[in-house]
């Protein structure tokens, strides 16, 4: 059974990829000249149209097997893959850009999933009452009374420093207690169900710590809607929208029977779950994270996966999101990210992931977000552009999660029918570059050893972008080499249990796409 170390794997991949030696990497991993790539998409000499490429793959490459081993770079790649071609007569090049979640989409989601729910501003969930603060004060006073008596060998200096820190915390809490309300009334925070700028929400609730936090993390002209139900009927619903210059755009709907999900995370991710795991992995999760989790008896999963998918498909149709196809489906156990309870619980759900489908071909988002961070001119910049996806989760209580992440729109058809490289050349590029992409050199951190199993090779669309335009880009045909990556760090083994993109190669010009850079 494979453990979940997705974040560690992602970090390891980014470090290894950006750590390619300059001399080796420059000749292989190219900074694409987009004008040249588009020109190559129209050249017919020594290239294939979709019909001839499909025929070539069907006759010669329905499966692909090889082993690549580089002892110096500590990378071993075992390939035993099916080669998949979409059923289409053409692949094109499309111009795209990020788009906002508009008021119409919010209204449609609210009407479809919570038609009779009164929403209140979610900022109220961050307001601490006197009872909340009093409990925390008592905790720190207990800590102070037992300081130095827990069996650890503290020096007098360490005990005194800890005492000063705890006393300062108690003093701060007592000051907060004086100004805190005895209770929070939902009626004082009734929502108008409209998307507003951060500036407007700060003006509406000038004392709100939540919108003060939002304003520090975003631009005042960025937009937000955060609505929650009162939970009086036993269902806790959260509905969140953000149109964020730095972190992207998203709409999230969650429902459960324990408490409100933390739906207002600024980073655009797959879901608002603390974790998702498969049946039988709950004990592993608890052991790895030194926590106790229990299965709720309030939510069940007796309906079939086909019945659940029918609910999900109906929702997409009602929302007018008809350009998506189901990429993955399965039964999972979800730990909702609920922060007003001390106990973690999990529930059974069916999870369906939908990706945009164009020309009967899915748009991949498996390789992670485009990301930039650093000082540019006089400004410190931190921006992310995640891949577009729709995730829907269903159990016997209905749709319990809807997440439309990083929506895009097609702005133009740049090349109507793109010419493509022969697969023989593409796999040659893969074999030359995969070890370099994951290999170690003096710029990388740690002592990673990679064992990679490639199980699928898929022709599909992927997003690339102009290095000078963060929010605009293109959908281009690519070959995605997918599989599983085991990463050793010294004697420790980090394992990933999710199918992921090992390497993505532009099917037009053969360049390796670094999704972190966006091209």
Tell me whether residue 512 is in a domain. no
Residues 425-453: tens digit of each pLDDT:
999 999 999 998 887 544 455 578 888 99
Which spans in 388-472 are helix H?
A: 423-438
Query: Which are the contacts of 67, defined by CB distance < 8 A and separation ≥ 6?
Result: 76, 77, 78, 79
- Looking at the structure, tell me whether residues 136 and 26 fall in a common domain: no
Residues 281-315: tens digit of each pLDDT:
766 666 666 677 888 999 999 999 999 999 999 99
Contacts 24+ apart (CB under 8 A), 299-303: 299/256, 299/257, 299/347, 299/348, 299/395, 299/396, 299/397, 299/400, 300/348, 300/395, 300/396, 301/331, 301/348, 301/349, 301/350, 301/395, 301/396, 302/396, 303/394, 303/395, 303/396
| Mean residue pLDDT across the chain | 85
- Looking at the structure, tell me whether residues 122 and 258 fall in a common domain: yes
**Segment 1-8 mean pLDDT:** 30
Tell me whether residue 148 is in a domain. yes
Number of domain units in the chain: 3
Per-residue pLDDT, 111: 98
Per-residue pLDDT, 114: 97
| Residue that finishes a domain, picked among 344, 375, 406 | 406
Per-residue pLDDT, 285: 67
**Segment 112-141 mean pLDDT:** 91
Q: Would you tell me how many other CB atoms lie within 10 Å of the CB of residue 436? A: 21
**Segment 498-504 mean pLDDT:** 84
- Looking at the structure, tell me whether residues 52 and 121 fall in a common domain: no
- Looking at the structure, tell me whether residues 198 and 164 fall in a common domain: no
Q: Report residue 313 as tokens.
A: 């498909």
128: pLDDT strictly greater than 60: yes
Tell me whether residue 439 is in a domain. yes
- Looking at the structure, tell me whether residues 115 and 23 fall in a common domain: no
Tell me whether residue 33 is in a domain. yes
Residues 132-170: tens digit of each pLDDT:
889 889 988 888 888 777 656 678 888 888 889 998 999
Confidence band, pLDDT 50/70/90 cuts, at residue 497: low
Query: Which are the contacts of 214, defined by CB distance < 8 A and separation ≥ 6?
Result: 198, 201, 224
Per-residue pLDDT, 298: 93
Place of tokens 């009872």: 131
Per-residue pLDDT, 54: 92
Residues 386-438: tens digit of each pLDDT:
889 999 999 999 999 999 999 999 999 999 999 999 999 999 999 999 998 88
Three-point CA angle 330, 332, 333, nearest 5°: 170
- Looking at the structure, tell me whether residues 34 and 59 fall in a common domain: yes
Per-residue pLDDT, 41: 83
Cβ(50)–Cβ(91) under 8 Å?
yes
Q: Taking Cα atoms as reference points, which of 95, 10, 101, 100 lies closest to residue 464?
A: 95
Q: Report residue 426 as tokens.
A: 């593409």
187 CB-contact burial (10 Å; exposed 0-12 / middle 13-18 / buried 19+): exposed
Tell me whether residue 146 is in a domain. yes
Per-residue pLDDT, 18: 33
Place of tokens 């593409």: 426
Cα 335 to chain center, whole Å? 16
Confidence band, pLDDT 50/70/90 cuts, at residue 504: very high
Cβ(515)–Cβ(503) under 8 Å?
no
- Give, rounded to a whole angstrom, the gap between the first and last alpha carbons of the chain: 35
- Looking at the structure, tell me whether residues 149 and 297 fall in a common domain: no
Q: Report residue 364 as tokens.
A: 């991949």
**Segment 163-188 mean pLDDT:** 89
Tell me whether residue 482 is in a domain. yes
- Looking at the structure, tell me whether residues 257 and 303 fall in a common domain: yes
Tell me whether residue 275 is in a domain. yes
Q: Which residue has the higher pLDDT, 21 or 191?
A: 191
Per-residue pLDDT, 48: 86
516: pLDDT strictly greater than 80: no
Residues 240-255: tens digit of each pLDDT:
999 999 999 999 999 9
- Looking at the structure, tell me whether residues 140 and 262 fall in a common domain: no
Do the strands 492-495 and 120-121 form a parallel or antiparallel pair, or are they unpaired? unpaired
| Residue that finishes a domain, picked among 354, 375, 406 | 406
Cα 37 to chain center, whole Å? 29
Confidence band, pLDDT 50/70/90 cuts, at residue 499: confident
Rounded CA gap, 195 and 198, in Å?
10
- Looking at the structure, tell me whether residues 474 and 366 fall in a common domain: no
Per-residue pLDDT, 339: 81
Confidence band, pLDDT 50/70/90 cuts, at residue 28: very low
Rounded CA gap, 19 and 41, in Å?
30
Q: What is the DSSP annotation of 464-496? A: EE-TT-SSEEEEEEEEEEEEEEEEEETTEEEE-
Rounded CA gap, 19 and 437, in Å?
8
Place of tokens 């996806």: 389
**Segment 195-222 mean pLDDT:** 92
Q: Taking Cα atoms as reference points, which of 191, 177, 220 lies closest to residue 124?
A: 191
Q: Report residue 48 as tokens.
A: 């294939």
Rounded CA gap, 519 and 32, in Å?
7
pTM here? 0.84
| Residue that finishes a domain, picked among 406, 435, 468 | 406
Do the strands 398-405 and 293-295 form a parallel or antiparallel pair, or are they unpaired? unpaired
- Looking at the structure, tell me whether residues 335 and 448 fall in a common domain: no
- Looking at the structure, tell me whether residues 297 and 442 fall in a common domain: no
Q: What is the span of the domain harbouring residue 395?
A: 100-126+188-406
């Amino acid at each position: 059974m494979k453990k979940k170390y997705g974040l560690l794997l992602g970090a390891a991949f980014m470090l290894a990829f950006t750590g390619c030696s300059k001399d080796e990497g420059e000749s292989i991993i190219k900074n694409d000249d987009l004008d040249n790539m588009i020109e190559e998409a129209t050249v017919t000499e020594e290239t294939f149209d979709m019909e001839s490429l499909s025929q070539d793959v069907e006759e010669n490459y329905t499966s692909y097997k090889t082993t690549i081993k580089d002892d110096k770079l500590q990378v071993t790649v075992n390939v035993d893959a099916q080669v998949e071609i979409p059923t289409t007569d053409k692949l094109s090049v499309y111009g795209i850009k990020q788009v906002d979640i508009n008021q119409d989409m919010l209204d449609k989601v609210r009407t479809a999933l919570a038609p009779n729910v009164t929403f209140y501003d979610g900022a109220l969930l961050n307001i601490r009452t006197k009872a909340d603060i009093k409990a925390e004060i008592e905790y720190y006073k207990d800590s102070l009374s037992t300081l130095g008596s827990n069996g650890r060998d503290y020096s007098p200096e360490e005990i005194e420093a800890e005492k000063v820190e705890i006393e300062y915390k108690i003093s701060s809490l007592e000051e907060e207690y004086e100004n805190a309300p005895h209770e929070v009334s939902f009626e004082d925070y009734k929502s108008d169900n409209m998307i507003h700028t951060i500036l407007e929400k700060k003006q509406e609730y000038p004392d709100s710590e939540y919108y003060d936090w939002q304003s520090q993390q975003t631009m005042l002209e960025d937009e937000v809607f955060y609505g929650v139900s009162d939970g009086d009927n036993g269902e806790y619903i959260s509905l969140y929208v953000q149109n964020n210059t730095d972190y992207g755009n998203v709409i999230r709907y969650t429902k459960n029977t324990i408490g409100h999900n933390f739906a207002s995370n600024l980073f655009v991710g797959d879901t608002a779950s603390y974790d998702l795991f498969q049946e039988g992995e709950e004990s592993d999760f608890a052991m790895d994270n030194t926590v106790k989790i229990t299965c709720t008896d309030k939510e069940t999963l007796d309906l079939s996966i086909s019945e659940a998918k029918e609910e999900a498909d109906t929702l997409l149709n009602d929302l007018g999101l008809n350009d998506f196809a189901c990429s993955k489906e399965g039964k999972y156990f979800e730990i909702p990210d609920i922060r007003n309870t001390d106990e973690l619980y999990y529930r059974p759900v069916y999870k369906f992931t939908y990706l945009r489908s164009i020309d009967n071909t899915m748009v991949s988002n498996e390789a992670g977000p485009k990301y930039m961070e650093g000082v540019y001119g006089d400004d410190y910049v931190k921006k992310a552009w995640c891949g577009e996806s729709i995730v829907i989760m269903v159990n016997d209580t209905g749709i319990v999660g809807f997440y439309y992440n990083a929506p895009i729109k097609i702005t133009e058809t740049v090349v109507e029918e793109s010419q493509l490289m022969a697969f023989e050349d593409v796999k040659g590029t893969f074999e030359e570059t995969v070890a370099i992409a994951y290999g170690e050199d003096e710029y990388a951190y740690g002592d990673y050893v990679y064992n990679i199993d490639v199980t699928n090779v898929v022709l599909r669309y992927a997003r690339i972008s102009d290095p000078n335009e963060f929010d605009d880009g293109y959908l281009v045909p690519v070959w995605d080499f997918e599989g599983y990556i085991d990463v050793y760090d010294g004697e420790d083994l980090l394992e990933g249990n999710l199918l992921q993109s090992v390497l993505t190669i532009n099917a037009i010009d053969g360049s390796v796409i670094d999704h972190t850079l966006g091209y």
